[in-house]
């Protein structure tokens, strides 16, 4: 990997704690592998609670000076970090693809997306306005200021090794907080590369820490039990989100949670079918189906069901599967054996319950973690795929006839992150957009993510919003100052 990079110094294997690059106290490491080839890319410092506690203390100390700087000074440093990310976009993308598997063009996109949160929040940090309130008594003056919440602990997944971190760290730092970030064990290299650039950008020592570890539960416990941590921000499964919420309850820590989804994607009779196919392809197969906003249940109305199924299968057949570093590849490997197993299970379950494979349906001839993109018709609500995210390249097509019925089916889930539908009738568009119980609705589009809009879920998909002017709120506390004059 180092030989592919313009700047091999972006490859770090030590953790970044208190402004120093450190090994684990016990000298242990864990391996990071390339999911496309199976080779070991690096041995990474395997930290435990003691080193994490030092990182938290460093963040706590560093934020005292940081929050006293003007917003503009903070913004200038964040802006320098953004510039360095974009200057090194290709190297960061290569590192990301090597450790995670997504095609290089998607990785390039993720770096730009990830960097955009640093840029956006650098600016938003200048707009942390307070308020004055007309007093309740003549001799009183009432004021509200907003201050950084305190040390922020961040836990992020492997599917967006760069952007999930910047989306949390950007607003946290802009708000004046110190941060300790624990990346996923599968993808620490992207996080460490970010730290290399943060250091170059001039972030004060200790303000931003990256604790790498294979023992995520231990790190989660330190985050939960350490009094200096005032906020936990997490992206990952609903299962782990619940654990962290329970743990955080003991010290009543603030929590932001971006959890699982089970996104419906509805194609109505009046949809532009080609656009719907394109949207389904983007929403379902981006990152090989491994995003929490990927379409999971595709509902297609009677009148266009067969035509849509055929067009989608054709488009899917054109998707090239392979090593994300190779030209023209649209789908990389899945991230792990467990991920492959889950896709296989969902397909077997669907077939046992009457579904039919239109295309794909099995592991790819390339072997390893490669899987054929799959379309299954005849999906029903009894299938596992109706209940939980496949997180892989399986598109199950459900047939429906009635608008109210499909809205009820789409909402019949504990999740509520992203949803999508294709229709052209204006009153239908309004009605359905309002009726879907989701934090995000894509109308006639399969791609909804941008730093300027609020991203987040309702129900068991999470708490809080990331991105947009709202994304900084979670890192601020309100203080009400009541003054007698």
Query: Closest separation between CB of residue 213 and ligand ADP, Å?
Result: 8
User: What is the C-alpha separation between 478 and 50, in angstroms, rounded?
Assistant: 32
| Cβ at position 472, least distance to ligand ADP in Å | 23
State whether the Cα torsion 375-309-286-446 is positive or negative: negative
Catalytic residue among 51, 119, 222, 258: 258
Query: Closest residue to ligand ADP, Cβ-based?
Result: 220
The smaller minimum CB distance to ligand ADP, of residues 155 and 406, is found at 155
Smallest distance from the beta carbon of 392 to ligand ADP, in angstroms?
12
Task: From residue 6, give the alpha-carbon distance in Å to each of 13, 42, 92, 95, 410.
Answer: 18, 18, 10, 11, 47
Q: Which is nearer to ligand ADP, 338 or 485 (CB)?
A: 338
Spatial neighbors of 87 by CB under 8 A, at least 6 apart, are: none
Beta carbon nearer to ligand ADP, 158 or 421 = 158
CB of 218 to ligand ADP, least distance (A): 8
CA gap 229, 95 in Å, rounded: 30
Q: Which is nearer to ligand ADP, 338 or 426 (CB)?
A: 338
Cβ–Cβ < 8 Å for 279, 446: yes
Q: Please tell me the distance from the alpha carbon of residue 466 to that of residue 152, in angstroms, as a whole number.
A: 14
Residue 87 or 218 with smaller CB distance to ligand ADP: 218
Q: In the complex with ligand ADP, which residue's Cβ is closer, 222 or 451? A: 222
Catalytic site includes residue 310: no
Distance CA 295, CA 374 (A): 13
SS3 state of residue 450: coil
Q: Two tokens at 334?
A: 């899945």
The string of DSSP letters for 389-429 reads ---SSEEEEEEE--HHHHHHHHH-SS--SEEEEE---HHHH
Task: Please say which residue, 142 or 243, places its beta carbon nearer to ligand ADP.
Answer: 243
Least CB distance to ligand ADP at residue 437 (A): 23
CB hemisphere CA count around 133 (13 angstroms): 14
Q: What share of the chain is helix, strand, coil (3-state, %, to 5)?
A: 45, 20, 35
Closest separation between CB of residue 164 and ligand ADP, Å?
9
Q: What is the closest distance, in whole angstroms, from the C-beta atom of residue 36 to ligand ADP in the complex?
A: 18
* Distance of closest approach, residue 255 Cβ to ligand ADP, in angstroms: 12
Burial group, residue 112, by CB count within 10 angstroms (0-12, 13-18, 19+): middle
Residue among 64 and 246 whose Cβ is closer to ligand ADP: 246
Q: Cβ 238 to ligand ADP, closest distance in Å?
A: 8
Contacting positions for ligand ADP (CB under 6 A):
155-158, 182, 184-185, 216-217, 220, 236-237, 240, 243-244
Enumerate residues 6+ apart whose C-beta is below 8 A from 309.
300, 358, 375, 377, 397
Tally Cβ neighbours within 10 Å of residue 384: 17
Q: CA 59: distance to chain centroid?
A: 23
Q: How far apart are the C-alpha atoms of 276 and 397, rounded to whole Å?
A: 13
**Cα(352)–Cα(139) distance, integer angstroms:** 75
On whether the CB atoms of residues 265 and 284 are closer than 8 A, the answer is yes
- Name the residue nearer to ligand ADP (CB basis): 236 or 289: 236
Query: What is the CB neighbour count within 10 angstroms for residue 369?
Result: 21
- Which are the catalytic amino acids? 258
């Amino acid at each position: 990997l180092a030989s592919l990079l313009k700047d091999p110094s972006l490859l770090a294997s030590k953790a970044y704690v208190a402004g120093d690059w450190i090994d684990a106290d016990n000298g242990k490491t864990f391996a990071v592998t390339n999911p496309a080839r199976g080779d070991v890319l690096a041995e990474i410092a395997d930290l435990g609670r003691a080193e994490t506690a030092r990182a938290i203390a460093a963040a706590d100390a560093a934020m005292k000076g940081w929050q006293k700087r003007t917003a503009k000074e903070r913004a200038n440093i964040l802006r320098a970090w953004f510039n360095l990310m974009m200057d090194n976009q290709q190297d960061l993308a290569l590192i990301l693809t090597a450790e995670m598997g997504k095609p290089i063009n998607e990785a390039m996109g993720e770096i730009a997306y990830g960097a955009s949160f640093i840029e956006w929040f650098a600016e938003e940090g200048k707009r942390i306005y307070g308020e004055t309130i007309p007093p309740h008594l003549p001799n009183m003056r009432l004021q509200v200021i907003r201050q950084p919440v305190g040390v922020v602990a961040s836990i992020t997944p492997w599917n967006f090794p760069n952007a999930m971190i910047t989306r949390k760290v950007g607003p946290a730092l802009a708000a004046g907080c110190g941060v300790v970030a624990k990346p996923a064990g599968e993808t620490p290299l992207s996080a460490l590369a970010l730290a290399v650039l943060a250091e170059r950008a001039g972030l004060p020592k200790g303000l931003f820490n990256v604790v790498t570890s294979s023992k995520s539960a231990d790190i989660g416990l330190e985050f939960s039990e350490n009094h200096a941590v005032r906020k936990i921000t997490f992206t990952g499964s609903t299962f782990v989100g619940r654990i962290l919420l329970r743990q955080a309850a003991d010290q009543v820590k603030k929590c932001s949670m971006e959890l699982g989804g089970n996104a419906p994607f509805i194609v109505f009779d009046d949809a532009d079918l080609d656009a719907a196919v394109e949207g389904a392809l983007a929403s379902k197969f981006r990152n090989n189906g491994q995003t929490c906003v990927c379409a999971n249940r595709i509902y297609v109305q009677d009148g266009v069901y067969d035509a849509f199924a055929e067009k989608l299968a054709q488009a899917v057949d054109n998707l090239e599967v392979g090593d994300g570093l190779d030209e023209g590849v649209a789908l990389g490997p899945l991230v792990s054996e467990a991920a492959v197993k889950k896709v296989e299970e969902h397909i077997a379950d669907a077939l046992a319950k009457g579904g039919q494979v239109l295309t794909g349906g099995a592991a790819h001839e390339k072997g390893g973690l490669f899987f054929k993109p799959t379309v299954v018709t005849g999906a029903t609500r009894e299938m596992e795929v109706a209940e939980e995210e496949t997180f892989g390249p399986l598109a199950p097509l459900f047939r429906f006839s009635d608008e109210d019925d499909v809205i009820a089916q789409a909402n019949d889930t504990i999740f509520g992150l992203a949803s999508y539908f294709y229709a052209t009738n204006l009153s239908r568009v309004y009605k359905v957009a309002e009726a879907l119980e989701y934090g995000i609705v894509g109308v006639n589009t399969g791609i909804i993510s941008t730093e300027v809009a609020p991203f987040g879920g309702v129900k068991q998909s999470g708490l809080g919003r990331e991105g947009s002017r709202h994304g900084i709120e979670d890192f601020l506390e309100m203080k009400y100052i009541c003054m007698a004059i």
